[in-house]
Amino acid sequence: MPIIANRWFTQQTFKEWLILDLVLLVLGAWCAYVLTQDHNRVTTRESERLSHQCVVVNMNLGRQFGTINTALTGILAEVPHWRKQRDGQALSSRHLRTLNNAMQGVRNFLVIDAKGTVEASDNPELIGENFAHRDYFQVVSKQPSTTTLYVRPPFISSLGYLTMSLGRMIAGPKGEFDGLIIAALDAEEFKVLLNSVIYRPGIRAALIHGDGVPFLMAPNSKDVEGVELARPGSFFAQHMRSGRSTNVFTGALNFVGDERMVALQSIQDPMLAMDKPMVVAVDRPLAAIYAPWNRQLVQYCLSFAVVTLLLVSGLLLHQRRRQLMGRVQADHETERVRGVEALRQSEERFRNLTKLSSDWYWEQDEQFRFVRLPGHLDQKTRSANDAHIGKTRWEMGALNLTEADWQEHRRALQSHEEFHDFEMMRRGRDGDIRWTAVSGMPIFDTSGCFRGYRGVARDITQQKMSDEHIKHFAFYDSLTQLPNRRFLSDRLTVAFAASKRNQRYGALLFLDLDNFKPLNDQHGHEFGDLLLVQVADRLKLGVREMDTVARYGGDEFVVVLGDLDLDRHQSEIEAGHVAEKLRASLAQAYVLNAAQDGAGVVTVEHHCSVSIGVTLFFNHDGSEEEVIKRADTAMYDAKVAGRNSVRFFEWANRPQ
């Protein structure tokens, strides 16, 4: 008998350790799978975020390049007239100054003759200068094309500022090279655009010429000064060689050596016929991206170690007890069976609870009434703990659940089904909204009779708040709290559908502040931000709650008016009335207060008018882009007409 007993204990012990090894192996594999999935999600999410920031810069920069190209085309049409006038130089310089004042992103306009001499410019200091040695002149003179928009690499201008040029060739009577028109870009204006896409510390945004020469970086960094980004093997070279518009790379940057995730997107509108593309790059350190995941990895490892220690200790204790109980005399068999049964129930409860992630533990009887609620509850939840005992879950209610939801929950309980993450929203005794996720499984005794439910619950209030914050960040402008372009697109889709359903006109107003740039130049961007916030507040007060006010970018805003009249003429009157009301409101003086170092609170009174372009839409008479473009064209007409005015889009004056 002792020999047989020893063999049985040896075989049983081996099986138990084998099962424990398999359990730990499965648990470790599950942890590895969860961590791998989380790592992939972090990578995908950050890649999409960085790519989205590139898209934001691409859209804004492409639009500005298009506006500059339109201005250069207009200047080309005037050059022959200016050259025939006796005072052509003065006339053209005045026109260039006016055009430069009305545009953002351009530092200087230059009209250069075939010998490289500046014959007209908005800056008198540049007239008479000869730039035949410059790259932008050499390339155009050697490779002349009337359809190409020449985008040349960054350089230091003769006036000492960093710039890069957009140029168009002036053609002679026979189509030969007869000079060129240059728009020298303002680096500070584009730096504002780059700063707008930096949503976390450590993120960098850069504009790079297609030849691999950096133009701007935000924040400023000396690491890229003089660096040839197009050298073989670099992320920039791989991006250009791929032929795709957008790429995301991960690894060490070859010019600084730190590990980063980099999103690159080419900016080359085929409508502009650019000879070289621009590339926007947004990157973030991998250490910052994966910091939360690394902390999660440490937590999983520590938790796995603790679970392993508990299981091993429990198994050793169990085996020790079994050996001792095996030596008990036959008259103590009943007590041994009771001890084994108690140990089995304890182990079953432990295994069940380890399957659920919890903040606190609960138990219910056969009528689904709470009988136990131990656990680590926060103070707000603990205050209502005693009120739960003796009640069912539906008797206490939840703000987010209907009677149909409770009926489905009761059906699952009566069917003795296991459930997970049953979410309930309740109001605490202090008035705060609290979210709870509950999971549970049925309890059966040794004879298989149902004895109630046991499970865990966890407070998910912070998770819900984080989800709402992320949603708000994705659809609203962080400065003005107005809908951003993404949300504007959604509201336009709704407005088009409502117009089709109600057979009523709608209107889109495109607003551009006229005197915004001088405020930033004189007082700094802090006062400019304060003015944009006040503009947003005035716009919201000037329209109905059903209408949409969105920030389009920079100092540009869009207002969508829905449910106007059935008649087009009456709808124009209503839209014009709203536009005039907004123009008058925004023309009022702005009082801006901001604290500055060493000067206390500084008060600035600023006057800033607005140019408004208006276009109507009915049913689906154009895409979102076409409707916005019509309003933008009308706004440009208001600018040309002297600013501080409202203009409607006129179909008769546009080319078909």
Backbone angles phi, psi at 366, to 5 degrees: -65, -25
Q: Is 605 within 8 Å of 591 (Cβ atoms)?
A: yes
Residue (of 391, 557, 422) closest to 483 by Cα position: 557
In the prediction, which pLDDT does 2 show? 47
- How many Å apart are CA 255 and CA 115, to the nearest integer? 39
Q: How far is CA 383 from its chain centroid?
A: 39
Q: Which residues sit opposite 362 in a β-bridge?
A: 455
Choosing from 477, 514, 555, 637, which is the catalytic residue? 555
Q: Which residues sit opposite 604 in a β-bridge?
A: 592
Half-sphere exposure of 412 (CA within 13 A, CB side): 14
Per DSSP, the residues of 398-457 read -TT--HHHHHHHHHHHHTT--EEEEEEEEE-TTS-EEEEEEEEEEEE-TT--EEEEEEEE
pTM of the model: 0.47
β-bridge pairing 155-156 and 162-163: antiparallel
Name all domains of the chain by residue range, CATH numbers in brackets: 51-289 (3.30.450.20), 356-464 (3.30.450.20), 476-653 (3.30.70.270)
- How many Å apart are CA 154 and CA 209, to the nearest integer? 7
Q: What angle do CA 281, 60, 558 make, to 5 degrees?
A: 145
Long-range contacts, 435-441 (Cβ 8 Å, 24+): 435/459, 435/460, 435/461, 435/463, 435/464, 436/460, 438/362, 438/393, 439/356, 439/358, 440/362, 440/364, 441/352
Instruction: Please say if 430 is a catalytic residue.
Output: no
- How many Å apart are CA 574 and CA 47, to the nearest integer? 45
Six-digit token string for 272: 């502009």
Q: Is 178 within 8 Å of 114 (Cβ atoms)?
A: yes
In the prediction, which pLDDT does 38 show? 92
Report, as ranges of residue numbers, the positions in the chain whose pLDDT lies below 70: 1-9, 222-227, 254-257, 326-332, 339, 343, 346-359, 374-386, 469, 471-472, 597-599, 652-656
In the prediction, which pLDDT does 29 show? 93
- Run of H or E residues at 214: strand 214-218
- Run of H or E residues at 84: helix 2-84
- How many Å apart are CA 91 and CA 110, to the nearest integer? 13
What one-character DSSP code corresponds to residue 368? S
In the prediction, which pLDDT does 541 show? 92
- Positive or negative, the CA dihedral 608, 614, 620, 622 is negative
Q: Is 268 within 8 Å of 274 (Cβ atoms)?
A: yes
Q: Is 261 within 8 Å of 46 (Cβ atoms)?
A: yes
- How many Å apart are CA 512 and CA 643, to the nearest integer? 9
- How many Å apart are CA 28 and CA 311, to the nearest integer? 14
In the prediction, which pLDDT does 534 show? 92
* Whole-number Cα distances in Å, 116 to 81, 136, 149, 207, 577: 20, 10, 18, 28, 51
> Exposed/middle/buried for 79, CB within 10 Å: 0-12, 13-18, 19+?
buried
- How many Å apart are CA 283 and CA 263, to the nearest integer? 6
Q: What angle do CA 581, 482, 460 make, to 5 degrees?
A: 150
3-state secondary structure of 10: helix
CA dihedral 518, 522, 523, 526 (to 10 degrees): 50
- How many Å apart are CA 94 and CA 320, to the nearest integer? 99
Six-digit token string for 277: 């593309």
In the prediction, which pLDDT does 1 show? 44
- How many Å apart are CA 287 and CA 46, to the nearest integer? 12
3-state secondary structure of 55: helix
Which residues are CB-contacts of 14 (< 8 A; sequence separation ≥ 6)?
none
